Amino acid sequence: MEASPITIHRPVMGQDLNHHGTLYAARTAEWFVEAGFIAAASLSRPENIVCIKVHNMEFLKPVKKGAILKLESKVVLTGRTSLVVYVQGNVEAVVTVKGFLSFVHVDDEGRPQPHGATLTPSSKIDLALQQEALALRK
């Protein structure tokens, strides 16, 4: 199976800014996890997905008020109960933030449960992201 990419857009408004007048890291992290969650939940039921770790969320460029942040997310690695999602944020085709998130598929009591999803990378980029995600497990 190949995971479909998910895209969400967020307008950057005054309440989203830090004291430097750029997008606040905590707001970015909220949107980052939300984008990743939607990608992970696309392979399961949303009520069975929980985020357990944010890996290497890296800011590459500041984002100013009035920008539209485009967050693209995709499941790049599956384990028995886990899903690793890559998220990349762009403003006008410039990468501003990127990183990975780990999610676990759980039962109604919150215990890890197999999700049954498997992925086959379909491009060199997907394969490279899968390899990078595998390295996060070490």
In angstroms, the CA 74 to CA 35 distance is 9
What was the pLDDT predicted at 1? 66
What is the pTM assigned to this prediction?
0.95
Q: What mean pLDDT, rounded, does the chain reach?
A: 96
Structural tokens at position 122: 């379909």
Q: What are phi and psi of 112, to 5 degrees?
A: -55, 140
Using the predicted structure, report yes or no on whether residue 23 has a pLDDT greater than 80. Answer: yes
Averaged pLDDT, 82-93: 97
Domains of the chain as residue ranges with CATH: 6-136 (3.10.129.10)
Using the predicted structure, report yes or no on whether residue 113 has a pLDDT greater than 90. Answer: yes
Using the predicted structure, report yes or no on whether residue 14 has a pLDDT greater than 90. Answer: yes
In angstroms, the CA 14 to CA 21 distance is 8
What was the pLDDT predicted at 122? 86
What was the pLDDT predicted at 3? 82
In angstroms, the CA 84 to CA 94 distance is 23
DSSP string, 57-125: EEE-S--BTT-EEEEEEEEEEE-SSEEEEEEEEEETTEEEEEEEEEEEEB-TTS-B----------SHH
Using the predicted structure, report yes or no on whether residue 68 has a pLDDT greater than 70. Answer: yes
